[in-house]
Structure 1
């Protein structure tokens, strides 16, 4: 199980990363180039600034059993 976070509008990115650390879960934070995420635990994926780029990345990589966190 992996956790995907759409960081382009999600106000709880830091909380999600802390919970993933606590339970030793893989977390993938997907953001556009306008956002900064500085955390050594999370895998950070940068996508284009165009609309829904983070959403499309997640949709194309998520598997059954994964968790997706977004505000969209």
Structure 2
């Protein structure tokens, strides 16, 4: 098991590293060349700025039992297809039960934006948002480590 992070716009990288370090789980953070990221714990993989390059690189490194942190429903769907676990930056688990509805909502939002409609803007991230994520993320990591899923080295 390893943790893979769609790290370009991830606001909880520090929490991911803290939890992973405490549980001794390797972390791979994937970013594109327009971002700079340094870490003394995570393996950083930098890919081109090509469309979906980060998503493809992340999914190509994902195996069954891994944990993927992403805001992207498409990436989450592909992770679930590989029998990995997925969570977003707010602590919401992506599951087989909710991913189809989330993908459909994404489709509707895209149609609305193309038609000139407005989508509600995101509120500023709060300390409570971070705490909610940390609790959900710790629970996901610790439960899967207890299941005996082998902790793997990063690529």
Normalising to structure 1: TM-score of the pair?
0.91
Task: Compare the two structures and name the one with the higher strand fraction.
Answer: 1
Equivalent position of 2:22 in the other structure: 22
1:3-34 superposed Cα distances (whole Å, 9 cap, x missing partner): 00001122111211111111110000000111
Equivalent position of 2:64 in the other structure: 64
1:20-54 superposed Cα distances (whole Å, 9 cap, x missing partner): 11111000000011112221110000000122111
Provide structure 2 residue ranges, at least 5 long, that are not aligned to the other structure: 73-155
Task: Indicate the structure whose relative CO is greater, using CA pairs within 8 Å and at least 6 residues apart.
Answer: 1
Partner of 1:68, secondary structure, is strand
Does the 8 Å CA contact 1:9/1:70 hold for their aligned counterparts?
A: no
Partner of 2:40, secondary structure, is coil
Equivalent position of 2:49 in the other structure: 49
- Take 1:20 and 1:49, find their aligned partners in 2: how far apart are those partners? 27
Flag as ranges the 4+ runs of structure 1 deviating above 3 A. none
Rg: which structure is higher?
Answer: 2
Root-mean-square deviation (CA), in Å? 1.0
Provide structure 1 residue ranges, at least 5 long, that are not aligned to the other structure: none
How many residue pairs get matched?
72
